[in-house]
Structure 1
Amino acid sequence: MKKIGIGYENYKRIIDDGCYYIDKTMLIRDIVEKGGMVTLFTRPRRFGKTLALSMLRTFFEKEYDFDGNLVDKSRYFAGKKIMEADEKILSMMGRYPVIKLSLKSAKQPDFRTAFKMLRNEIIGEYRRHSYLWQADILGEQEKNELAALARAAEDSEIREQDRFTEEVGRYATALKTLSDCLQKFHHENVIILLDEYDVPLENAYYAGFYQEMIGFICSLFESALKTNDALEFAVVTGCLRISKESIFTGVNHLEINSVYDNGFEEAFGFTHEEIERMLCDYDMEDRIEEAKEWYDGYLFGNTEIYNPWSIIKYVAEIGVNGKQFPRPYWANTSSNQIIKDMVWHADEDMREELDLLINGGTIEKQIHEDITYDDIHASEDNLWNFLFFTGYMKKVSERREGETIYLTMCIPNAEIRSIYKNQIRGWFDEVVKGTDRSELHKAVLEGDTEGIADYVSDLLEKSISTFDSEESFYHGFFLSLLYGVKGYSVRSNREEGNGRPDIVLYPNRPKNPAIIFEVKTRKKFNRMEEGLEEAYQQIRDQKYEEGVLDDGYLGVVSYGICFCKKSCIVGRLP
């Protein structure tokens, strides 16, 4: 079996290390034949965008070895689909100077630090092309400018705001300067590859310096992509399609391809056929349906697509390392801040929509392809659009009403559903922690079953009914409410009698009775009384009360509590 290259984002290394690779090389041909002068691809994170740019660079870039010999790129593509392309495409292999820049390092707490990280990325690309400084074809002024831009100014040099502003301006046009010099040296136009273009903007939005960052990015892109006569073509990748008017001002030859669009559907992510082949290659044929349930569900254009990062992790853990169960691998690649914000600030209508989605339903929303980070929280529709374009929702169907397009959307798969659930659990835990429970504790001590039920049901009414049939959730939820009952210690699943009661409150003074709660759930309201009877019967059959009394306590009171959605009923054992 071939090695699974977890976390590999360098195409050359995948080939050199003999890693398993699902062939996406026809993107090279499609970029040339179907792409624009500037092509923007937006896909969810961890869908192979960085690897795709690395593959494009490997194919197109003119490179020399240490002895000054031209590197033969064909060895990196032997046996790949692109080698079946026509002569026009193959003649472009190893022909062009390439500038490749990742913007993800700009995830910083303030604009100065973020800018310096982007500046360092640009400087790194300058130094990669340091042979230009000795090129006879370039004039002394050009060489001096290249050398100056390849040196980072010391912090002491740009401490004053005027000097810092000047430094920002210098690097706003740095890609164009490098392009001009590369074109002059190689006698070929330049290919520019920009990865994770929206990371600086998303980070700046949440960190509070959005306007400063968008000003720099706009200037950088305008000079590199609009007014650049040395440009052959450019490919830009990110997660969200930012409004053309806000960042791609004046780039009239821009082609945008998002998860909503046709064309390039199979370039990012894995198709069902590719997944079947991969699972068979790792003797996991019996896991195809499981993989589909957990990691399928995306619709790019009209093509069904799997999450590639999660599939690679899944095959590595289960097919190679022998683990048993799938997990939400994608959930651990980001803070999922947008989901957290949504859950924690949801109004009643949005909570109802989340209820519907998490329980397998759909919602319909107007599609807005051009939004900015500033707009995300401006309307509920914008938030749902953000979730759709970044992979947290998928298209089920669409309809047009006049000039407006509406999408019917749902949660893509079990992995994404678990992300929503985990955020909701965290939010609800905080709600419980911040709640005054004295009224509930009073009802428990007084044996007021109606008061207990009313309090708990009122609290559940504020929640999102994600855990309708999960007894473990209701058990943990009710247990957390009982901590702090005056004069009692709370224990869960401690052995008593012939079993383990769900919850027991043990008195600190023996004159007070111990209190037992047995928790049950039902999916239908008309079966909740049946749930109470089941709780009573379990208390009797397992002799929980006898076990507590054998521990030396003088009395014991037992209750059944049954949950259904956002309601509960409580009864005392007859």
Structure 2
Amino acid sequence: MGSYLNPGNLSFRGSLRSKIYVDKSELIAKTNEALCTEQKYICVSRPRRFGKSMAANMLAAYYDRSESTEELFQNLTISKERSYKENLNQYDVIKINMQEFLSMSETMEEMLEMLKNYLVLDFKETFHEVQFRDEKNLIQVMKDVFRYTRCPFVILIDEWDCLFREYKQNKDAQKKYLDFLRAWLKDKDYVALAYMTGILPIKKYGSHSALNMFTEYSMTDPGDLAGYFGFTEQEVSVLCETYGMNFEEAKTWYDGYHLIAHRQNGDEHYSIYSPKSVVEAMLRHKFGTYWNQTETYEALKIYIQMDMDGLENSVIRMLAGDAVQINIGTFSNDMTTFATKDDVLTLLIHLGYLTYNSIDGTVAIPNKEVSQEYVNAISTMNWHGVIDSVESSRKLLESLWAMDADAVAEGIDKAHDEISILQYNNENSLSCTINLAFYFAREYYTMIRELPTGKGFADICLIPRKLHLDKPAVVIELKWDKSASGALEQIREKQYGDVLRDYQGNVLLVGINYNKTTKKHECIIETIQK
């Protein structure tokens, strides 16, 4: 056993001993299928704290032939797979965390030299009977070992993209690093599996990837690995039941990453939750912001305040609950090359600050936890109107509960004035302003836009979550340059109350109109009992 060659299974044992362990061992069945095939190059990119390192530790423990690990896997899902015994403890494993080497180096060249030297040292200690042609050449050393053992390597590289995040501007260092990886891994018989994980997809130069032998599984195209990183809805539901936590609240706080696996027998849709956040919430018995404690809101702030046409407008709309159309095709897979706002938004998908809907090509803020991170970032920027609107939303919600229609109209007027960047010419733009004005309502409600009903659509419906059923439900109909009374009449005609069949209590019916002439909002509020 070496430090990097056949490193053992202590890390994975630690995961299994943890208070919360969610079995993701089916991933091994997928990597088994790829062994020694054209598909043996796999690159998985996910946000921080999405289980990437744990998966790499699991693969190392499974494939490492230096000691038996059947006891670790015999009760996991993988043990039921046909390929389980065939590949268990059958390979020499190289496991590297690139961040570790980068942190110990001053330059990229020093990092690679250290990496090569340390690996060669492990090879010489383990295979001292092998006669090496060139002890200073890592590739030749691995060829010599493979010629001797006839056992190919499973190569696991964690944090493979750290250099692109630390050396953002150094294009020369980035290119040399990619050249090293390509020379080391591509078309090498000694590679049974090359498995890399990181946050960013593989860097593109022009229209070509420097490592085009890899199949990529990212937040924008997760393939059939969609369910193996992050927790699925079913897994979170089981944890909530085990720990006595409210699943609806967990969904509000941590859900929102919608990934699709396209399969021969039909697409499979996944609702993916941030695992770090879910685990912390369960163990602390308290919902809160945990995932984004791994790095400060300053990282988000850098990108959303970039001078890109339409970027501020898009962020405000998403903060209000909108989904925004995006083209992910021009993103260069780095943290500095931005031609349009869409490139910035695509980076935020990979960082976990946005979720991507691959069916309609839109992005949105995934959940309450991440939304709070946007509020934190914006509060330190010069977007004063937006943050003022968010901070005023608590008072506006209280006015709504008090059925103070004049105060509600006045509060929406204020929000409209503060968010002047939004064009105001139809019910949809009005809806965006209303959603941001009532931002604080998300503490208690599930906010639904254009809620389907028997006779049409409500513009906004606030449905109290189970922990807040003492609050009134709210149905809001919006009109632009018509009348608030007409909006209220439309609510009655559409029978919106029927969609709240699971709710018993007060329902506030709210008609809001924007008068184009006076540039003021009008509001009428009624209540019905269910």
In which range does the TM-score fall when normalised by the shorter chain? Answer: 0.5 to 0.7
Quote how far apart the aligned CAs of 1:470 are. 4.4
8 Å CA contact retained: 1:40, 1:235: yes
8 Å CA contact retained: 1:195, 1:237: yes
Matched ranges for 1:428-439 at <5 A: 428=382
The structure 1 residue matched to 2:249, chosen from 290, 307, 311, is 290
Quote how far apart the aligned CAs of 1:299 are. 1.3
**Distance in 1 of aligned mates of 2:388 and 2:186:** 48
The structure 2 residue matched to 1:90, chosen from 76, 85, 92, is 85
Amino acid in structure 2 at the alignment position of 1:20 = I
Residue in structure 1 matched with residue 217 of structure 2 by the alignment: 257
Quote how far apart the aligned CAs of 1:124 are. 4.1
CA gap of 1:427–1:526, structure 2 versus 1, over 3 A, is closer
Task: Give CA-to-partner distance per residue, 1:114-146, whole Å, 9 cap, x none.
Answer: 5434544554444444434522xx22544xx1x
| 1:409 maps onto 2:372 in alignment | no
**Distance in 1 of aligned mates of 2:208 and 2:412:** 54
Residue in structure 1 matched with residue 13 of structure 2 by the alignment: 12
SS of equivalent to 1:100: strand
Residue in structure 1 matched with residue 526 of structure 2 by the alignment: none
8 Å CA contact retained: 1:179, 1:231: no
The structure 2 residue matched to 1:116, chosen from 110, 120, 123, is 110
Amino acid in structure 2 at the alignment position of 1:131 = E
| 1:53 maps onto 2:56 in alignment | yes
SS of equivalent to 2:329: coil
Residue in structure 1 matched with residue 452 of structure 2 by the alignment: none
CA gap of 1:426–1:83, structure 2 versus 1, over 3 A, is same
The structure 1 residue matched to 2:201, chosen from 205, 218, 241, is 241
| Count of aligned pairs between the two proteins | 388
The structure 1 residue matched to 2:271, chosen from 300, 304, 307, is 304
The structure 2 residue matched to 1:74, chosen from 47, 67, 70, is 70
- TM-score, with normalisation over the residues of structure 1? 0.61
**Distance in 1 of aligned mates of 2:350 and 2:415:** 41
| 1:223 maps onto 2:177 in alignment | no
Amino acid in structure 2 at the alignment position of 1:391 = G
**Distance in 2 of aligned mates of 1:126 and 1:364:** 49
**Distance in 2 of aligned mates of 1:337 and 1:242:** 24
CA gap of 1:72–1:418, structure 2 versus 1, over 3 A, is same
SS of equivalent to 1:237: strand
Residue in structure 2 matched with residue 469 of structure 1 by the alignment: 393
Amino acid in structure 2 at the alignment position of 1:293 = T
**Distance in 1 of aligned mates of 2:375 and 2:386:** 15
CA gap of 1:181–1:18, structure 2 versus 1, over 3 A, is farther
8 Å CA contact retained: 1:39, 1:234: yes
Residue in structure 1 matched with residue 26 of structure 2 by the alignment: 26
Deviates more, 1:388-397 or 1:366-375: 366-375
Quote how far apart the aligned CAs of 1:393 are. 0.9
8 Å CA contact retained: 1:108, 1:114: no
Task: Give CA-to-partner distance per residue, 1:184-221, whole Å, 9 cap, x none.
Answer: 3432111111111111112101xx4x223213311221
Residue in structure 1 matched with residue 379 of structure 2 by the alignment: 425
Amino acid in structure 1 at the alignment position of 2:273 = Y
**Distance in 2 of aligned mates of 1:24 and 1:198:** 23
Quote how far apart the aligned CAs of 1:29 are. 0.7
**Distance in 1 of aligned mates of 2:368 and 2:10:** 26
Amino acid in structure 1 at the alignment position of 2:183 = S
Quote how far apart the aligned CAs of 1:18 are. 5.5
CA gap of 1:281–1:178, structure 2 versus 1, over 3 A, is farther
Return 5+ residue gaps in structure 2 as ranges.
Answer: 1-8, 261-268, 397-406, 417-518, 520-530
Matched ranges for 1:165-204 at <5 A: 174=138, 176-204=139-167
Residue in structure 1 matched with residue 349 of structure 2 by the alignment: 388
**Distance in 1 of aligned mates of 2:152 and 2:364:** 44
Quote how far apart the aligned CAs of 1:247 are. 11
Amino acid in structure 1 at the alignment position of 2:52 = K
Task: Give CA-to-partner distance per residue, 1:143-162, whole Å, 9 cap, x none.
Answer: xx1xxx5xxxxxxxxxxxxx
**Distance in 1 of aligned mates of 2:198 and 2:415:** 50
8 Å CA contact retained: 2:205, 2:332: no
Residue in structure 1 matched with residue 229 of structure 2 by the alignment: 268
Quote how far apart the aligned CAs of 1:337 are. 4.9
Amino acid in structure 2 at the alignment position of 1:85 = E
CA gap of 1:462–1:266, structure 2 versus 1, over 3 A, is closer
Return 5+ residue gaps in structure 1 as ranges.
Answer: 1-7, 64-70, 150-172, 319-324, 400-406, 432-459, 473-518, 529-566, 568-574
**Distance in 1 of aligned mates of 2:186 and 2:314:** 42
**Distance in 1 of aligned mates of 2:293 and 2:414:** 40
**Distance in 2 of aligned mates of 1:76 and 1:307:** 25
CA gap of 1:247–1:185, structure 2 versus 1, over 3 A, is farther
Quote how far apart the aligned CAs of 1:279 are. 2.0
8 Å CA contact retained: 1:38, 1:233: yes
Quote how far apart the aligned CAs of 1:316 are. 1.6
SS of equivalent to 2:94: strand
CA gap of 1:412–1:101, structure 2 versus 1, over 3 A, is same
Residue in structure 1 matched with residue 128 of structure 2 by the alignment: 134
8 Å CA contact retained: 2:233, 2:270: no
Residue in structure 1 matched with residue 40 of structure 2 by the alignment: 37
CA gap of 1:231–1:369, structure 2 versus 1, over 3 A, is farther
CA gap of 1:178–1:93, structure 2 versus 1, over 3 A, is farther
**Distance in 2 of aligned mates of 1:12 and 1:527:** 53
**Distance in 1 of aligned mates of 2:352 and 2:106:** 31
Task: Give CA-to-partner distance per residue, 1:73-96, whole Å, 9 cap, x none.
Answer: 10111210111111x442111111
8 Å CA contact retained: 1:198, 1:239: yes
| 1:333 maps onto 2:294 in alignment | yes
**Distance in 2 of aligned mates of 1:461 and 1:191:** 54
8 Å CA contact retained: 1:183, 1:230: yes
CA gap of 1:310–1:120, structure 2 versus 1, over 3 A, is farther
Amino acid in structure 1 at the alignment position of 2:247 = I
Matched ranges for 1:137-156 at <5 A: 138-139=130-131, 141-142=133-134, 145=135, 149=136
Quote how far apart the aligned CAs of 1:354 are. 1.6
Task: Give CA-to-partner distance per residue, 1:542-572, whole Å, 9 cap, x none.
Answer: xxxxxxxxxxxxxxxxxxxxxxxxx9xxxxx
Amino acid in structure 1 at the alignment position of 2:24 = K
Amino acid in structure 1 at the alignment position of 2:80 = E
Greater C-alpha radius of gyration? 1
